[in-house]
Structure 1
Amino acid sequence: MPVIAIDGPTASGKGTIATRLAAELGWHVLDSGALYRLTALACLRRGIGAADVAAAAAAARGLDVRFGARIYLEGEDVTDAIRDEAVGDLASRVAALQPVRDALLARQRAFREPAGLVADGRDMGTVVFPDADLKVFLVASARARAERRYKQLIEKGFSANLDTLLRDLEARDARDAQRASAPLVAAPDALKLDSSDLTIDQTVAQVLAWWRARSA
């Protein structure tokens, strides 16, 4: 089945773009970041820190999750809870652990079903789907990403500080790029797209144009 892999740093708009693309194409969508956030939420609730590698990996393997219009963990709607900044910070830390990544790899690949899949994350084109038909590396300036995340959090009723978000994003960028396991890096055959000054519609249109040219 065809796969469009969209990788990029935190808050670059990967999830929004992937969801829109999947809707346009009639394909499935994989928000791989949600799996790591779910693992982080499960760890937080069980008092598991990133230093406890075995326990974190066990939490990842045993995730009782259900995806749909909303995301459920052990029967509870956690769609909004996994977007909390504390969950995101721990998700970035546990995502650096190879046993956790190994535990989630097969679950991610299982999303590849007819008629196709749009997968977003940090290693979709390099590790999870290295044979993806189209690979996009979506970037945006740290300031633009912090402003987007700030707006999202405020709209959902969370308190947020723009300067704090900017510092956190820059720290996560460094952590994701420098980790030994599946670091955030563009695949050699990925097309880079800077969305700092693009609307969602413009970004989606560009990726669709690339896909149509590729599939033609």
Structure 2
Amino acid sequence: MPKSIAIDGPAGAGKSTIAKKVSANLGFIYLDTGAMYRTVALKAINEGVDTKSQNDVEKIVENIDITISHENNTQKIFLDGVDVSEAIRTPEVSAGASNVAVFKEVRLKLVDLQRKIASDKNVVMDGRDIGSYVLPNADLKIFLTATVDERARRRYEELLQKGQKVDFEEVKADMIIRDNNDSSRTFAPLVKAEDAIEVDSTSMTIDEVVEKIMYYYLEAGKTSPLQ
């Protein structure tokens, strides 16, 4: 029976970074679900479609081709056969991803793909609604969070390192908007699952967060056969 760890939380909480390290430690596949929504947004932007237009976005999703591969624990995502792993990491696509993620048809299509991957592979999956909706029976559920100022600082520094010219206040404002979009959507919103363990990473290092999650996973294994 494949094992799964769900890591949910708001934008900039460090989910992807943490999930990659935890998956590497366990030898699991890492699945960045947010990348899938970014890919839908990129498709819309490339075709001149407003990411806030539900009808237009849902038409795009009907025939979209999203495939995922893993090489040395690194996820590569392809849109219509083209590697868009880097192209989906711009602020414009980030905002668009938050817009398209509120549409039910988009989520249903992508969740189906996510569940198929988790059905036959051990996975660490991160996103907004993994523990609450995508993988309600995950072996371990983590809700990773941090203050909005800290999350904005992390994203700001990440974008600077990639050579993008960004303004901190704009990054923070965008994050607040994304938080609101993610938490207020009617279908599968960002929410802490009842059985999730909350981890506030504001004053923690990456390694400290990883160590804590590994501890929780191993502790869970003492009461249920995880391995």
Normalising to structure 1: TM-score of the pair?
Answer: 0.95
Quick check: 2:45–2:51 contact (8 Å CA) kept in 1? no
Give 1:82's aligned residue.
Answer: 88
Q: CA deviation at 1:24?
A: 0.5
Q: Trace 1:1-216 onto structure 2 (pairs within 5 A).
A: 1-67=2-68, 68=70, 69=74, 70-114=76-120, 116-216=122-222
Q: Give the gaps of 5 or more residues in structure 2.
A: 223-227
The whole-number CA distance in structure 2 between the counterparts of 1:2 and 1:25 is 10
The whole-number CA distance in structure 2 between the counterparts of 1:73 and 1:115 is 22
The whole-number CA distance in structure 1 between the counterparts of 2:120 and 2:107 is 25
Q: CA deviation at 1:7?
A: 0.2
Cα deviation digits, residues 69-104 of structure 1 (max 9, x gap)? 433323333222111011010100110111111121
Counterpart residue identity of residue 30, structure 1: L
After TM superposition, which residue ranges in structure 1, 4 or more long, deviate above 4 angstroms?
none
The whole-number CA distance in structure 2 between the counterparts of 1:198 and 1:59 is 40
CA root-mean-square deviation: 1.4
Q: Specify the SS of the correspondent of 2:125.
A: strand
Q: Give the gaps of 5 or more residues in structure 1.
A: none
Q: Specify the SS of the correspondent of 2:94.
A: helix
Q: Specify the SS of the correspondent of 1:29.
A: strand
Cα deviation digits, residues 20-71 of structure 1 (max 9, x gap)? 1111000111111000000000010011223432332243343333433433
Normalising to structure 2: TM-score of the pair?
Answer: 0.90
The whole-number CA distance in structure 2 between the counterparts of 1:23 and 1:39 is 27
Distance 1:93 1:51, change over 3 A: closer
The whole-number CA distance in structure 2 between the counterparts of 1:129 and 1:33 is 15
The whole-number CA distance in structure 2 between the counterparts of 1:10 and 1:106 is 22
Paired residue total: 216
The whole-number CA distance in structure 2 between the counterparts of 1:100 and 1:113 is 20
Distance 1:164 1:191, change over 3 A: same
Q: CA deviation at 1:167?
A: 1.0
Identity of aligned residues (%): 38
